[in-house]
Structure 1
């Protein structure tokens, strides 16, 4: 027999020592490549990460794993709920200016029913509107955590517009606290060190926690902040929350709970809410770059590859409509901006006002080609884009889907298609492997793929 004492952040399993050891073992995992860790190599650690300590304490978000473990070993249990539960009946969650889609309503209702968990929402699913619906339904002290200054203002404006609730801003040098607040993770981290009393007061009064781009909670800095927020309602939002690596996935679920709703790219495309992407895999001629170091390979084969950059210029010249060229390095963006004089380049080095001006120029169709660093990767409200050129290469599935997602907004008054141009970078073993993995992601998402050979003569 066992008892689970349930808390908002930390819960505890009380049982015999033998059962505790068995459950603790089932709540353990080894990080990827743990044998490279200094502590492991010095024999100070066996490579195992435990999510339950020896006294039985564990993150409440992993309650389902504890229950699964107890059932697996045949142990009955009772749950004693010691959480501070808000006495509230959810209110109407209709929003100003829009009619919620059916799947958005279902997702809001799941958030209200389950109280905590991850919602996996492909780009263009309207995650901020879903969050607004939850905020309006509950009308509790709320903390909405974002990862950038751009998202800070965009999200606060959207909440106020959709719910009519005056929204506080905590970030970018501002601490304007209200009942519903949007905060950057960086500001919370800083003030927990430099002004702990004020920050803890904010965190302790929070009853609804919403985490944007929740996959970041795998990082220690994010995780430490989330573990200090005793909110009863805890919702993590991400287009790609789970990475098929147990440690990262469990760290996310530890502060939110398991996945409670999922809206895929395919579903949004089938429903007509997202454009249908056509992936053009561009073949091109280029010398081989043999190097044992990835950074050197990336510099030669991607950033400063004259043949590849000339092909990018040719593609831009061929395309019609608004084209977004995505780069990883500022140096690459500046180089392409020089090669494509009619383009505009935007990076994280630009001031917020400059970025807003460029976004507005995109909305007004005053610019045809925008070259951007990863500042557009997460959540920025980008106007309807016709073409995306992935000049950046890379291997991350999360970043890849986010970048394609920038152009998936439904096209009004024209064919509902997004053209995505990627490259078969077979000039180096690293870049070739990355190209193959990106193609694997496209196939997994059931995107249409076309091989483009028309640029093979360009050098």
Structure 2
């Protein structure tokens, strides 16, 4: 996290800010707040709503489009933002003293570390940094052993612990790992159960429904698994701020230093970055398989029409697009024929059924149509689904199965076991997003489209466990409004996350130099695309909505930088200027 002094602030080097954390509270309070301090923290401890432009309050000018986590009336903010607040205050010339009242430690427990392997160097460093930091976010790529790190922290601290998860699969995975590794009595809250142990694993859904007031034990450690899931950010914060803990650890598959939006809601309950390990480093060291990116170019795939909404485009072109789905099925079939164990990921149930039909020659078209048609489908949608099925051809002779949300936990586990044992060649799923432990995957076809970075990285990580020297990651090169932009955003995300192992060996030196310049000048990289063409020209394209403040800053940076020719949403960089940002040999 990079903190800069707020523009226009006067020096306050002699002013001390007194911060207090009262006993039993999960908020910190500024005891001697001034209007200047309130305004500073109110502005800085906030995040931009990406959908603000569509909301009435913003359109009326009654809301600035920001979610402010500092409460001016009470001069307070959530405990997880304390380190961030201190950095902000110190960057603006204040000195800060913190008084923590009361004791937030939990009951003592006894653990026995029985893990069969030695911890890897980066895992040992992660444990050390997290302890030194007194908690915070632990960002390790999928497959790097976040659970092992968390269990080692429990073993080091030995206080009663509660682990927060958001799926039933994770509930039972944690139970098994804890019992095997720490030898503790594990309690479960979720899936119809409510019992507490030395370490308790609890689903967020059950805790939100019944309330933390029903907990009977005194907990000192809280572990928030899959803390990068912004769809659960409100639940994370609600639960995290309702329980007083001495130690708070978040486990994330995404580098926390790169977040700048709704993730602040999660950080409010957990704390900032304690340690981040990059995927590129772990691939270099052989702890993760190398991803081999391949891009499918469907022939005559549907493209958006000018009169279609985004939802209509997704349904017609992605979910029910016959040529696109056929290309996905053929790619999965070919990969299975080459000996890969293949996972095909989708977000929409109808697409999953269509792909299962194409990949499993034993399926009957009428039975699949019965699964496709839902009771509340309008006649027009029923016809669309029927036509989509009619245009699909069955390919290959592999075994395939589709697992989805409505399946029971037992049905999912049986399918995963069969897949792991080799009885299923191709698995299609809407549900294997976070936490699924499937070490046998060696190829993934990402069929869902979209541009969610976290979703894609999490899914790709399922295939990068080091069983082979590489894993195939197949995506679809979509065309047309919305879809092409989403495809290009996915490619850029892969380059950013996997570095030299991303598509085309990652960003070029010139692209990276310009990206660094933009980041240093406060331009959100998730809203613009930096690309170099075959002639070496670098362009900066605005690809996503920016709020008023961020857009004004983007335009200011474009206009005041002598090496950039400003042209609205797409701007050209002067080659000599780009060279000045890079190494002399570039």
TM-score (normalizing by structure 1): 0.89
Please point out which of 489, 500, 503 is paired with 1:449: 503
Give, in whole Å, the separation in 1 of the partners of 2:102 and 2:63.
34
* Pair 1:260 & 2:242 matched: no
Q: Measure the CA separation in 2 of the matches of 1:443 and 1:300.
A: 29
Structure 1 residue 247: deviation in Å?
A: 4.2
For residue 398 of structure 1, what is the aligned residue in structure 2?
Answer: 454
CA distance in structure 1 between the aligned counterparts of 2:143 and 2:438, rounded to whole angstroms? 11
Contact 2:111–2:183, Cα closer than 8 Å, also in 1: no
The one of 309, 312, 318 aligned to 1:296: 312
Task: Provide the residue aligned with 2:20 in structure 1.
Answer: 5
Q: Can you list the C-alpha shifts for 1:345-364, whole angstroms capped at 9, x where unaligned?
A: 11121111111112211222
Q: Within the alignment, does 1:158 sit opposite 2:171 as a pair?
A: no
Structure 2 unaligned runs (5+)? 1-15, 361-398, 506-586
Summarize the Cα distance change of 1:285–1:450 in structure 2 as closer, same or farther, 3 Å threshold: farther
Equivalent-residue separation in structure 2 for 1:5 and 1:197 (angstroms): 25
**Contact kept? 2:138, 2:275, Cα under 8 Å:** yes
Among 461, 482, 487, the alignment partner of 1:430 is 482
Kept in 1, the 8 Å contact 2:221–2:245? The answer is: yes
Tell me the SS of whatever aligns to 1:5: strand
Distance 2:356 2:200 in 1: 38
Q: Which residue of 2 aligns with 1:309?
A: 325
Cα offset, 1:144, TM superposition: 0.3
In 2, Cα distance between the equivalents of 1:289 and 1:142?
Answer: 51
Matches within 5 A, 1:397-416: 397-411=453-467, 415-416=468-469
1:175 lines up with 2:190 in the alignment: no
Aligned residue in 2 for 1:139: 158
Query: How do residues 239-278 of structure 1 correspond to structure 2 at under 5 angstroms?
Result: 239-240=253-254, 242=256, 246-278=260-292
Q: Matched residues in 2 for 1:83 and 1:27: separation?
A: 28
SS at match of 1:394: coil
Cross-structure match for 1:228: 242
**Alpha-carbon shift at residue 49 of structure 1 (Å):** 3.2
The structure having more radius of gyration, on CA atoms, is 2
Deviation, 1:33, is: 4.0
Does the CA-based 8 Å contact 2:136-2:274 persist in structure 1? yes
Residue aligned with 1:157, SS: helix
- State the alpha-carbon separation in 2 of the partners of residues 93 and 179 from structure 1: 13
Q: d(CA) in 2 for partners of 1:197 and 1:14?
A: 29
Q: Supply the distance in 2 between the matched residues of 1:92 and 1:179 (Cα, whole angstroms).
A: 9
Q: Match of 1:381?
A: 437
1:380-404 C-alpha deviation (Å, 9 max, x unpaired):
1012212111111121011110111
Paired residues of 1:152 and 1:169 also in contact (CA < 8 A): yes
Cα drift, residue 25 of structure 1: 3.8
Structure 1: runs of 5 or more not aligned: 452-459
Q: Does 1:78 align with 2:131?
A: no
1:103 to 101, 107, 122: 122
Assess if the C-alpha contact under 8 Å between 2:444 and 2:463 holds in 1.
yes
Indicate the larger mover: 434-443 or 314-323. 314-323
Three-state SS of the structure 2 residue aligned to 1:429 is: coil
- Distance (Å, rounded) in 2 between the aligned partners of 1:87 and 1:166: 16
Deviations 1:302-350 (A, max 9, x none): 2222212222232233222211111111111111111111211111211
189 and 91 in structure 1: CA distance in 2 versus 1, 3 angstrom threshold: closer
**TM-score, with structure 2 as normaliser:** 0.71
Rounded to whole Å, the distance in 1 between the matches of 2:238 and 2:147 is 24
**CA 1:11/1:366 → structure 2, altered by over 3 Å: closer, same or farther?**
same
Q: Which of 397, 419, 423 does residue 366 from structure 1 map onto?
A: 423
Secondary structure, counterpart of 2:482 in structure 1: helix
Shift of 1:103: 1.0
Bigger shift: residues 91-100 or 376-385: 91-100
- 1:303·1:332 contact (CA, 8 Å) conserved in 2? yes
SS at match of 1:214: coil
Larger RCO, structures 1/2 (Cα 8 Å, 6+ apart) = 1
Deviations 1:189-228 (A, max 9, x none): 1102xxx6424x45xx221000011123663233211110
What whole-Å deviation, never above 9, does each CA across 1:26-76 have from its counterpart, x for those lacking one? 434343343433333455444443322223211122122322233233233
Q: 2:54 aligns with which of 36, 56, 75?
A: 36
